Homo-oligomer: A and B are copies of this chain.
Amino acid sequence: MINVAVLGYGTVGSGVVEIINTNNALISKRIGDVIKVKYVLDLREFEGDPVQEVLVHDYNIIKDDPEVDIVVETMGGLHPAYEFVKDALLAGKNVCTSNKALVADFGPELLQIAKDKKVNFLFEASVGGGIPIIRPLKTSLAPDEIEEISGILNGTTNYILTKMTDEGGEFAEALKDAQDKGYAERNPEADIEGYDAARKIAILVSLAYGKTVSFEDVYTEGITNISDRDIVYAKALKKKIKIFGTGKKVGDKVSVRVWPVLIGKEHPLYNVDGVYNAILVRGNMVDDVMFYGQGAGKLPTASAVVSDVIEAAKHLHININTVWSDEKLELVPAKQMKAQYFIRLNKKKDVAEEKVKKLFGDVTVVDAGFEDEYAFITGEITEGTYREASKDLDSVVNKIRLD
């Protein structure tokens, strides 16, 4: 018998209980032992829900019960999630979590405790919801040096950009629609400013290179200044605007950022629309591999958590080596990051043309029918060059990098 305790009976936690109960026979067969939810920890009561029978309000009951093999943390937030997870690992229990903030901030420490205690700290659901990416990165792509990892990592912003592309309209309208549909929160900052994607790419890059990227060190630009006109330009270019989280190896360093990009049809992520997420990994041997699915949602995310529960059940007292030290990964400074830039100026062509040529050399002019603007694509330049030039130009409406 494998006994599981679930901390937090919210969206994901209740999904975990639902999956373990609904698919119990199948999951038990795959583990080779019967699995059971022994406890659910939550401060609330759930009258009429069968969960009442296993509901506890005191974490110590779980921590002190030697029969609990696996603790599932789906509370969210840093505290007391961190303390509970640490205590569980120190008590020799495996932990599976969907909590990206916890993983991004305390990953290496919790992995080390798990290693010392010969148990596992697993977090498949922390990135990409139901998409298998953490485990494939640790196992299937383990033979490869990772050259690039790029993902559409946030369903809310992808929904907003898809809506603006398909139906037109400004960012604010699309955001409101996403909020009405429950895809965006009342306070949407973490999504639309790119912070959620930054946490996720920090985790992926840390795992890919075995050293730590703090999410605060991820250069991040959100989508709040993407306008209807940007979408019209993108269409004129036969491209789409997406927001990517990316880690790219450049010499001995890694360029890690979240920013909007223009991508063309030939890009493997071009057709990833709506609330779907996808992650592209380029290895030095396997070349391009892509993973696609629902980046959020109760059951997809809970399915990812339960896949970790099954993995933990198969390795109850065997630590699966995960290389992620607390040493800092060397990053490319923002100013040295390179890209081709699509730039819009609120000046007419004849006024701007000469100065643009002086600053950027030959550029490709983009005509989307707006005569009050001058828009163009540069060659590959650094962010530093762009910033200097944009000061000098004093008329940039928006810029989006090409990928």
Contacts and interface: CB of A to CB of B under 8 A. Distances in A.
A287 B130 contact: yes
Contacts of A29: 210, 323
A303 B290 contact: no
Interface string A5-39: 00000000001000110110011011110000000
A76 to B, nearest CB: 20
B286 A293 contact: yes
Contacts of A292: 268, 288-292
Contact of A132 (B141, B284, B303, B307): B141
A224 interface: no
A268 B278 CA distance: 12
Nearest to A270: B271
A318 interface: yes
- Bin chain A's interface residue count: 35 or more
Nearest to A288: B293
Contact of A145 (B20, B23, B309, B311): B23
A131 B143 CA distance: 13
A139 B122 CA distance: 13
Contact of A289 (B130, B286, B314): B130
Given A132-B136, A271-B271, A143 B307 contact: yes
A198 to B, nearest CB: 24
Interface of A: 15, 19-20, 22-23, 26-27, 29-32, 124, 130-132, 135-136, 139-145, 210, 268, 270-271, 278, 283-294, 297, 299-300, 302-304, 306-307, 309-311, 314, 318, 320-321, 323
21 contacts: A22-B285, A23-B144, A23-B284, A26-B145, A29-B210, A29-B323, A30-B321, A30-B323, A130-B287, A132-B136, A135-B140, A142-B307, A142-B310, A143-B306, A144-B303, A278-B290, A286-B303, A287-B294, A287-B297, A288-B293, A292-B292
